[in-house]
């Protein structure tokens, strides 16, 4: 008896939409937000320490007798550290939306301001119960959160973090360069 050859099923990968993907995307965006805050905290600490040291140099009595290049170098370092510190503070404060021209989504059920403005405790519990029973509303709530984070918060934090970092680096390079030039010519 001859054996019949079995047809092999094609092993094409199949992809199905899963609502857990939205949770993963939201978690990734929240992780990015945390990373931006951590980097801003580090930048705040570094620029703050340098600013305190620079303020000590600038307030010495003999600072007025320093050569002009030395004064300019220390001044550039102080100004750069101050603005870097200020931008880092803007990153970690929750009111960062003032820098954005766009508004958050009003019907975002997870956003804390919407909860406090539009719901009493019992109304919010009822709204969450409705949400549990309606998968379309759950998906929409996740989509609103993801959109708000990725459209209104993360781009601003990223931009401010880059500017704060480069402000600190350039002010240190230029300031230390001027101080070194003054030291060589003295």
pLDDT by residue (tens digit) across 106-136? 566 766 677 777 778 888 888 778 877 877 8
The answer to whether 146 touches 51, Cβ cutoff 8 Å, is no
Question: Among the listed ranges 14-28, 63-77, 102-116, 169-183, which one has the minimum average pLDDT value?
Answer: 102-116
Confidence category of residue 80, pLDDT binned at 50, 70, 90: very high
> How many angstroms separate the Cα of 158 from the Cα of each of 6, 84, 106, 149?
56, 14, 24, 12
The Cα–Cα gap between 74 and 71 comes to 5
- Using alpha carbons, select from 138, 117, 101, 112 the residue that is nearest to residue 20: 138
Bigger pLDDT: 102 or 91? Answer: 91
Question: Among the listed ranges 7-16, 51-60, 137-146, which one has the minimum average pLDDT value?
Answer: 7-16
Confidence category of residue 8, pLDDT binned at 50, 70, 90: low
- pTM for the whole structure: 0.72
The average pLDDT across 166-172 equals: 97
The answer to whether 181 touches 124, Cβ cutoff 8 Å, is no
Domain map of the chain by residue range? 21-185
Residue 9 confidence (pLDDT)? 56
Question: Among the listed ranges 5-14, 108-117, 135-144, 166-175, which one has the minimum average pLDDT value?
Answer: 5-14
């Amino acid at each position: 008896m001859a054996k019949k050859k079995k047809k092999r099923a094609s092993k094409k990968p199949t992809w199905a939409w899963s609502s857990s993907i939205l949770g993963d995307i939201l978690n990734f965006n929240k992780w990015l937000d945390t990373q931006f805050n951590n980097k801003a905290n580090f930048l705040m600490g570094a620029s703050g320490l340098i600013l305190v040291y620079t303020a000590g140099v600038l307030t010495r009595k003999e600072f007025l007798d320093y050569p002009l290049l030395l004064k300019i170098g220390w001044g550039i370092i102080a100004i750069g550290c101050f603005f870097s510190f200020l931008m880092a503070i803007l990153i970690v404060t929750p009111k960062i939306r003032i820098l954005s021209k766009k508004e958050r989504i009003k019907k975002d059920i997870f956003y804390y301001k919407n909860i406090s403005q539009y719901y009493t405790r019992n109304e919010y519990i009822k709204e969450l119960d409705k949400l549990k029973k309606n998968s379309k509303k759950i998906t929409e709530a996740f989509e609103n959160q993801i959109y708000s984070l990725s459209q209104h918060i993360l781009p601003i934090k990223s931009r401010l973090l880059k500017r704060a970092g480069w402000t600190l680096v350039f002010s240190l390079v230029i300031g230390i360069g001027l101080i070194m030039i003054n030291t060589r010519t003295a």
